[in-house]
Structure 1
């Protein structure tokens, strides 16, 4: 078990050391430094709890990638996750929203964190539209699959599986939801919300198209080229997926701190553990052993997408988001155990299961 999390613990130690240095520089006092360390630790735990469904979905993609691309996911991927999504992405939002250069955005984050936080918060409508639309497509595509033969909640999943013959149904559903939510907010925000949602849809289509093109080239590639191309397509998909999962976490982190660098350290720790968890799920074959775990994760994705889209009109606490995802995955895990136990129980001549317990 430790081999999967060794890098995460080392990364955590480094981040906590940096946080202590920052805390001492900001407060010059032991209690202030301990307070900063506590915030970083809480942010790390929060990120893990909110992103467990992300780890399960990542594992569904990662299990088809070779060891080389798995290592790249844990190295290049963590660099993109920590520095790209937790530092560069918020700075880019501030730079665009405030119409300033990237250097000015960094200076603003360091010198006036309150205004920096306000700019990020004001961009919530656009972020929710983009992330909600992308995640909705990820979740709906899983259920709108005519080849899907394992169902957890059959009364819901079977009809969706049959409806998969309708071309573009998932896109139509997301567009209708975007339009419906836009009617509940002001005209200017509605325009931003719909435009961001459309870009979320286009991003999903673009990622899928790149994957399809790379898979098509596999038929004429040699063995080494095939692995590289498959890994690249999966890597791109995972990074966009991680970005979409991170939107809410980045914004919600401001409830604990408005310092960009403290937020990046805390969420970075969580992101590293999520990646280690993903690789462990793949190596141990957990998804195959617990057949409904994947279903629970995709239900959690649909729930997260709905919460992101609804949040432009209604205030939904981060705690609710985390609890819904954890509950769905927990129920899926429990039902998987029951199903495995039932399959392992001997059957009598009358078709009844014998329970030796």
Structure 2
């Protein structure tokens, strides 16, 4: 995309990935139309601080609305006339879905249906939207590939994101709307969410409190630095989804279609031990972690790892941030933001 590509509407710009995506697009000289309801799922002050950073940037407009409000969202589309849409707003969090399922229905299902309708009726040329590695659910065949079945989610959060992928396909098929779904793998980095593991562990270690290690610490995750995630998002937005000429209805592959539809993983393509993250945090913080070993938590999985070959072939994406570098950058941001010596 170049600066004459027209405005890009980004939902969730007060959120972790949405904020970084908006910054990346603005750095490229693009006009960004931001949308977020700035809810209180976690500290709104962190969201407001992100928005304050964006508000200083030329080319950024912000609308404080809920995507579940179809009329308000349609008004933004009517006013801004975006050429492309990057949809990152969602009710996040695997564990929260166990206690407040209706939040996921409103944000992730009703909200996504509104996004699809607005894209359809306003001539959007490409919709890129966030999915999650959680859709792989009960699958243990790693690395996870978009060519594998993903129909056994273990949480409502994962189910809602898998539903988004299926809803997008129906619009790609029925209305020719190009859609690209991105399955994110364990994102971390500066400006991260307080309910994420990296943030929770850092705060607890600095406060001298114990951290809980589920599955007795025997966990593997494909930790992906936020800059790499955003690089994949923007590259995917650049490459408009097209029909796959090799797709066969008698042997259907999940990641493509005869409709303009694509699914990609965005990960670091490396499963790292959870205990390695604890070690790196201890080194950067200069303190030892106090740990409590616990059994596997409901809805969790022991390991994740992303096969990013399809994304690399289509966009040239390559993860570029080693875990050691990313953890250090996160800790440095945390100390600065919270003014911790």
TM-score scaled by length of structure 2: 0.23
Q: Going by fraction, where is helix more abundant, 1 or 2?
A: 1
**Which one has the largest radius of gyration?**
1
Q: Going by fraction, where is strand more abundant, 1 or 2?
A: 2
TM-score scaled by length of structure 1: 0.22
Q: Which has the higher contact order (CA 8 A, sep 6+)?
A: 1
